[in-house]
Chain A
Amino acid sequence: MNYKRIPYDIDKIKIPQGEIHIIKNRCKGCGFCVEYCPRDVLEMSDEFNAMGYHPPRVKNPENCVNCGLCEMLCPDFAIWSTLKPDCRQASKKKSAEDEKEAKIES
């Protein structure tokens, strides 16, 4: 990533990786998630679901940072994102390390 100034703790920061889940048959093809995804992860697909709409498709899975905007904007409760399993372990480890540091400081 291009930074104007490099943050001091750049080696410690790990960008979270999200995983998109879509229930295709619940989608009504409104396109809110595709339009407003801040990382350009989704696109509309050409396939039809059971109701005859075009559900979204994951275009760039590596770009997802698990922000959850698609989940919030979806009017049909058809799309959501979760943290990838390895990121979950990393965040758990990180929080454990933080707790240790806090204990030492106190």
Chain B
Amino acid sequence: MIKKEDHHPMESLLRMDRIPHIWCPGCGIGTTVTAFIVALEKLKLDFNKVCVVSGIGCTGRVAGYINLDSFHTTHGRAIPFATGIKLGNPELKVVVFSGDGDLISIGGNHFIHAARRNIDLTVICVNNFIYAMTGGQVAPTTPLTAYTTTSPYGNFELPSNVPQLAESAGAVYVARWTALHIRRLTNSIIEALQKPGFSVVEVISPCAMYYSRINRLGDGIDMMKFYHENSVIKHNEPTENLDIDYQKEIIVGKFINRERPTFTDSYNDWLVTEKKAQSKSMI
């Protein structure tokens, strides 16, 4: 007989036939998924009205492991797919769970325009500084001078600053945490889910198999210790100061929390005025 104690409390929200997952030992994506599940349970949402969309990559596998209505889309197209779901059925809570390579490089254009339109999405961007699934190539978030398989002399490209990109494009909620700040990350995901509009939570996650192995930074636990010692919490910090340099301090916190009308609100307002005008012209 299987006792109740033999089951992990989060098993109801996981597809147990696929567990154990493919993520390497020391990876932070599993921890981020835990934070997301705890946030969903704390919010007591109707799970039939939550939808998770992922792109391609290590983090893109999340859609396959979470036992909700989830979609695993093509590379970089998680946000357009989620936009379609949100506009088709505005009652749903749509969460885009993807990595930095998927959201910022290949889907960078979609990221900017969804933020500009202020579509009501929650974007959880797991940033591990590298394209991990395809073999550790240089990503748009790789810090300067970091080694990757395609930058054997160190990276010369200036990395993207995800919070600044999101703010300048028009996101209403922007936060950044590491995979170690697990309770604060959970609270941020709860706030982002409740916030109407385009909300972005960036999660700095260790990549033990490519980023820290090529740069000789140790295992996942050593990266976690590095975050423990070098992350500084500065709420409401101006986002231009949030660049991440190679093995320097990481500023984390909640940076933007503002109000803007969402796309659905503006459309509904137009619909109401249009109906009034139509009924007047009928008379």
In the complex, what residues of A have CB within 8 A of residue B208's CB?
A: 30
Which A residue's beta carbon lies closest to that of B11?
A: A77
A72 adjacent to B221 (CB under 8 Å): no
Closest Cβ–Cβ distance, residue B183 to chain A (whole Å): 7
- Give A52 Cβ to nearest chain B Cβ, in Å: 11
Across the interface, name the chain A residue whose C-beta is closest to B225. A35
CB within 8 Å of A: which B37-64 residues: 38
Question: Is the interface on chain B under 10, 10 to 19, 20 to 34, or 35 or more residues?
Answer: 20 to 34
Q: Is B108 an interface residue (CB 8 A)?
A: no
* CB-contact partner of B30 in A19, A35, A36, A74, under 8 A: A74
Asked if residues B14 and A77 are in contact (CB atoms below 8 Å), the reply is yes
Q: Does B1 contact A (CB under 8 A)?
A: no
CA distance A51 to B20 in the complex (A): 11
CA of A23 to CA of B225 in the docked complex: distance in angstroms?
A: 25
Given contacts A21-B5, A21-B6, A80-B9, contact A75 B224 (CB under 8 A): no
B8 near A29 (CB under 8 angstroms)? no
Question: Quick check: A75 and B19 within 8 Å, CB to CB?
Answer: no
Contact A72 B8 (CB under 8 A): no
Bound-state CA distance A53–B18 (Å) is: 19
Q: Write the chain B residue with the least CB distance to A51.
A: B20
Q: Mark A53-87, 1 if CB is under 8 A from B, else 0.
A: 10000000000000001011111111010100000
B-chain residues with CB within 8 Å of residue A16 when the two chains form the complex: none
A41 to B90, CA, bound (A): 47
A75–B9 touching, CB < 8 Å = no
Contacts of B26 in A (CB 8 A): 28, 30, 75
Which residues of B have CB within 8 Å of A35?
221, 224-225
Establish whether residues B25 and A72, one from each chain, have CB atoms under 8 Å apart when the complex forms.
no
In contact, A74 and B25 (Cβ under 8 angstroms): no
Produce 1/0 per residue, B149-184, CB < 8 A to A: 000000000000000000000000000000010110
Contact with B along A22-37 (1 / 0, CB 8 A): 0100101111100110
Kindly list chain A residues whose C-beta atoms are within 8 Å of the C-beta of B272.
none
- In the bound complex, do residue B31 and residue A75 qualify as a contact, i.e. CB atoms below 8 Å apart? yes
Chain B residues contacting A23 (CB-CB under 8 Å) are: 6, 8
Q: Tell me the smallest distance from the CB of A61 to a CB of chain B, in Å.
A: 15
A26 vs B9: C-alpha distance when bound (angstroms): 15
Question: Does B35 make an interface contact (CB < 8 A)?
Answer: yes
- Chain B residues with CB below 8 A from A21, complex form: 5-6
With an 8 A cutoff between CB atoms, is B132 at the interface?
no
Q: A71-B9, A77-B8 are in contact. List 5 more A-B contacts (CB 8 A).
A: A23-B8, A28-B20, A30-B26, A73-B34, A78-B8
- 25 pairs from A and B in contact (CB 8 Å cutoff): A21-B5, A23-B6, A26-B20, A28-B25, A30-B26, A30-B27, A30-B221, A31-B221, A36-B224, A53-B25, A72-B35, A72-B38, A72-B186, A73-B34, A73-B180, A73-B182, A74-B30, A74-B31, A75-B27, A75-B30, A75-B33, A76-B20, A77-B34, A80-B8, A80-B9
